[in-house]
Amino acid sequence: MTKEETGVTEVAHIPVVAEGTGKTAENAGAKQKEVYNAELYAAIQESNIQRWSRSSMHLYYCVFVAFCCACANGYDGSLIGSITVMPHFKETMHSQNSGWQVSVVSSLYRLTQISGSIITTPFAALVSDRWGRKAGMVAGSIGIILGSIIASSSFSLAQVTVGRLVLGSGIQFMTVSAPAYSMEIAPPQWRGRCTGFYNCGWFGGSIPAALVCFGCQYINNNWSWRIPFICQCFACFIVLASVWFIPESPRWLFAHGRQEEAIAFLVKYHGNGNTSSRLVQLEIEEIQESIRQEEQDKEIAWWDFRCLFDTHEGRWRSSQVLMMGVFGQFSGNGLGYFNAEIFDELGIKSTAQQLGYNVLNSVLSAIGAGTAVTLTDRMPRRKVLVYGTFTCALVLAINGACNHVFGQDENNKSAANAALAFYFLFNVVNSFSYTPLQGVVPVEALDTKRRAKGLAFYGFLTGCLGFINTFCTPIANSTIGLNYIWVFVGWDCVEAVLWYFFCVEAQGRTLEELEWVYKQPHPVKASQHVDRIVQQADGTVTEKIVEHE
């Protein structure tokens, strides 16, 4: 494929940091520092993007549109747990409050999401790659709206199933396009926060869902559960109304020969309007080099997913997606789908109390995730996942011990309250450790040619694992009660060890620079390589220290 066909032209390499022996560190106020990428760090120090400029505000709006896509998904995560305890829903669907009946009803979303994703996964990747990230968000919004309408008008479990199938297909389109969009439009220094904020849309949906269900419980007819279903359309209407006013991803534009539009985006949103911005020039150079390397793969069929596993680089990239998909679902957070049953085991029998605690749990979890988002661009991903997962195991173990004490003496309210407090604390820790990174890690791990297909695989994987969570948890809870928690205590310890040995650190690097990391024989070790620099008192980077033999 020629340069004329792709629209890619040569961009001269602009050296950002001179190599030296550290002599400039002798200047007054100068200091030596270790960073993952000297060129990127130096360019960021000089870029000085104005946070409250008009272009930055518009960029925030773009991320907000992607955030609304996650809201639609998060809304459903809270919706099912709340609706299954509503008397009119149970009466209409002939379901009980525990055991396999709840498994069938609550796993409907995951089961139909899996069925929908089997059908739509290749098409979701195709739409995102061929017509753009915005097109994928539009297709997903339409699917969720149609599915919500069908589910809200249901009079039988079969009709709910059809609605969930359509809705699950819509979710799959969104989970492919929205996180890729939020990552690809963000400046390198904001990448973690923008993508982490996108994934916090889960709470942007789950909290309103909990509040809507809490209010609707007082409606003494079938509208008590129909209204929550209808409200799921709200975030999708925002996406459909807004997507026409946001730009397309610059990486997608570059890959489709629309170079002028892509450069204009980078200059406007990453360079403060300065065409000579070092950060912009660095990004242009790296994106174009990445596209040149990917041109040979353009002929791969849209349904062919072998690129995720057929090379050393592809397998390592996919391993990060696989680990986040599995660990992000199996760290104990799946218990949250059945808060009503957990509260019931702790002696909280009132439906109003259960729904109220469900709201509180969502708010506390959102605070944990929101705090992590503000720190995402400063915290190494690997350390957060290792220590965070181990802390999850520790807190769950304390929770399990308190549950055991309460199980021996149900009059021991102190043990019940302690178990409840540590359950809330677990959700805060889990949200801090995983919620932002569930959006960040898969997108960072996947390069442009694999991103849409990899995210489609990620969505399918989380759907399958979520189904196991939602189907098995009620059965386990009715059989062994809250002792089921100990399964996650042990598994979280295993996860922490696996993160330590196999997590590739991506913080502080450009998406294109990660290509070098993943092509190394040992990507985990390569990802921890740092550059030593000299930074002057005014913030300017004057030297990258190189040891000469």
In a domain, 434, yes or no: yes
CA proximity to 266, closest of 257, 467, 277, 292: 277
The predicted structure's pLDDT at residue 5: 40
Note whether residue 532 is domain-resident.
no
Q: How many Å apart are CA 200 and CA 365, to the nearest integer?
A: 10
List the chain pLDDT tens, one digit each, 549 residues. Answer: 334 443 444 444 444 677 888 888 888 888 888 888 888 888 888 887 888 899 999 999 999 999 999 998 888 777 876 777 788 887 887 655 555 555 555 555 566 556 656 677 778 888 988 999 999 999 999 999 999 999 899 888 778 778 877 887 888 899 889 999 999 999 988 998 999 999 899 889 988 988 898 889 889 999 999 999 999 999 999 999 999 999 999 999 998 989 999 999 999 999 988 888 889 998 898 888 777 766 655 556 666 778 889 899 999 999 999 999 999 988 988 777 667 778 888 888 887 788 788 888 889 999 999 999 999 988 999 999 999 999 999 999 999 999 889 888 888 889 989 999 999 999 999 999 999 999 899 989 998 778 888 888 888 888 788 777 777 777 777 777 667 889 999 999 999 999 999 999 998 888 777 888 999 999 999 998 888 888 888 888 888 888 755
Is this model's pTM higher than 0.85 or not? no
Rg (CA), the chain: 24
**pLDDT for position 116:** 58
Residue 383 within a domain: yes
Residue 534 is given by DSSP the state E
Beta-strand relationship, 31-35 and 19-20: unpaired
With respect to residue 9, please indicate whether it lies within any of the assigned structural domains.
no
How confident is the model at residue 101, as a pLDDT?
54
Nearest one of 17, 30, 16 to 546, comparing CA atoms:
17
Total number of domains in the chain = 1
| Structural domain harbouring 391 | 54-256+312-502
Whether residue 471 is contained in a domain is answered as yes
Residues across the chain: 549
Spatial separation of the C-alpha atoms in residues 177 and 127, rounded to whole Å: 9
Judge whether 42 lies within some domain.
no
The CA-to-CA distance between both ends of the chain, in Å, stands at: 42
Q: Is residue 32 part of a domain?
A: no
Look up the CATH number of the domain holding residue 419: 1.20.1250.20
Phi and psi, residue 534, nearest 5°: -115, 125
For residues 279 and 43, give the distance between their C-alpha atoms in angstroms, rounded to a whole number: 5
Q: What is the predicted pLDDT for the residue at 4?
A: 42
Please spell the DSSP secondary structure of 32-100, one letter per residue: EEEES-HHHHHHHHHH---TTSHHHHHHHHHHHHHHHHHHHHHHHHHHHHHHTT-HHHHHHHT--SSTH
DSSP 8-class letter at 132: -
Q: How far is the C-alpha of 471 from the C-alpha of 102, rounded, in Å?
A: 8
Residue 30 resides in a domain = no
Residue 366's closest CA among 197, 239, 216?
197
Instruction: Give the sheet arrangement for strand 31-35, strand by strand.
Output: 19-20, 541-545, 531-535, 31-35
Residue appearing with tokens 């990004």:
283
